[in-house]
Amino acid sequence: MVSGQPLQLLGGLSAQTFLRDYWQKKPLLVRQAIPGFQSPISADELAGLSLEEDVESRLILEQGQTPWELRHGPFAEDTYQQLPESHWTLLVQAVDQWVPEVAGLKERFRFLPQWRMDDIMISYAAPGGGVGPHYDNYDVFLLQAQGHRRWRIGPVCDGSSPLLDHPDLRILAEFQNEDEWVLAPGDLLYLPPCLAHFGTAEDECMTWSLGFRAPSAAEVLTHFSDFLAEFLPDEQRYTDPDLQPAGDSHKITGDAVLRLKTLIQQSLDDDRLLLSWFGQFMTEPRYPEQLAGQEISEAGLRRAIADGALLARNPASRLAWAEIDLGPLLFAGGQSRLLSPRLGPLLGLLCSAPALYADNLAAWLEDPEALTLITELLRQGSLEFASE
Q: Please say which residue, 13 or 131, places its beta carbon nearer to Mn ion.
A: 131
In the complex, what is the shortest distance from the CB of residue 380 to Mn ion, in angstroms, rounded to a whole number? 33
Shortest distance, position 136 Cβ to Mn ion, whole Å? 4
**Residue 217 CB contacts under 8 Å (≥ 6 apart), including other chains:** none
Size of residue set near Mn ion by CB under 5 A: 1
Site for Mn ion in 225-284 (CB under 5 A): none
In the range 176-215, which residues lie near Mn ion by CB under 5 A? none
Q: Return the number of the residue (105 or 210) whose C-beta is nearest Mn ion.
A: 210
User: Rounded CA gap, 101 and 180, in Å?
Assistant: 30
Is residue 136 part of the contact set for Mn ion (CB under 5 A)?
yes
Q: How far is CA 168 from CA 4, 136, 281, in A?
A: 43, 14, 26
Among 38-46, 53-61, 134-142, 210-218, the segment contacting Mn ion (CB under 5 A): 134-142
Closer residue to Mn ion (CB): 118 or 136: 136
Pick the closer one to Mn ion by CB: 163 or 322.
163
Does 139 participate in binding Mn ion (rule CB under 5 A)? no
Instruction: Report the nearest approach of Mn ion to the CB of residue 135 (Å).
Output: 7
* Stretch of 133-141, 212-220, 274-282, 353-361 lying at the interface with Mn ion (CB under 5 A): 133-141
Three-state helix/strand/coil letters over the chain: CCCCCECHHHCCCEHHHHHHHCCCCCCEEECCCCCCCCCCCCHHHHHHHCCCCCCCEEEEEEECCCEEEEEECCCCHHHHHHCCCCCEEEEECCHHHCCHHHHHHHHCCCCCCHHHEEEEEEEEECCCCCCCCECCCCCEEEEEEECCEEEEEEEECCCCCCECCCCCCCCECCCCCCEEEEECCCCEEEECCCEEEEEEECCCEEEEEEEECCCCHHHHHHHHHHHHHCCCCCCCCCCCCCCCCCCCCCCCCHHHHHHHHHHHHHHHCCHHHHHHHHHHHHCCCCCHHHCCCCCCCHHHHHHHHHCCCEEEECCCCCEEEEEECCEEEEEECCEEEECCHHHHHHHHHHHHCCCECHHHHHHHHCCHHHHHHHHHHHHHCCEEEECC
What minimum distance in Å lies between the beta carbon of 199 and Mn ion?
7
CA–CA separation, 14 vs 37, rounded Å?
A: 21
Helix (H) or strand (E) holding 231: none
Q: C-beta of 289: minimal distance to Mn ion in Å? A: 27
Q: Which residue's CB comes closest to Mn ion?
A: 136
- When the beta carbons of 172 and 339 are compared against Mn ion, the nearer one is 172
Question: For Mn ion, which is the closer residue by CB, 206 or 347?
Answer: 206
Among 27-35, 45-53, 129-137, 200-208, the segment contacting Mn ion (CB under 5 A): 129-137
Considering only residues 63 to 102 of the shown chain, the ones binding Mn ion according to CB under 5 A are none
**70 to each of 27, 43, 66, 90, 118, how far by Cα in Å?**
28, 19, 9, 10, 22
Q: Which stretch binds Mn ion (CB under 5 A): 74-82, 128-136, 178-186, 240-248?
A: 128-136
Q: Which range of residues in 53-61, 132-140, 286-294, 314-322 is near Mn ion by CB under 5 A?
A: 132-140
CB of 123 to Mn ion, least distance (A): 9
Q: Rule CB under 5 A: say whether 118 interacts with Mn ion.
A: no
Smallest gap from Cβ 191 to Mn ion, in A, equals: 7
Q: Is 282 helix (H, G, I), strand (E, B) or coil?
A: helix
**Rounded to the nearest whole angstrom, what is the least distance from the CB of residue 145 to Mn ion in the complex?**
16
Q: Min. distance of Cβ 281 from Mn ion in angstroms? A: 24
Q: Which stretch binds Mn ion (CB under 5 A): 136-144, 162-170, 227-235, 239-247?
A: 136-144
User: By C-beta, is 136 or 139 nearer to Mn ion?
Assistant: 136
The whole-angstrom separation of Cα 175 and Cα 151 is 12
**Residue among 56 and 136 whose Cβ is closer to Mn ion:** 136
In the complex with Mn ion, which residue's Cβ is closer, 99 or 153? 153
- Please state the closest distance from residue 56 (CB atom) to Mn ion, in A: 16
The span of 89-97, 130-138, 369-377, 379-387 binding Mn ion (CB under 5 A) equals 130-138
Contact residues toward Mn ion (CB under 5 A) are 136
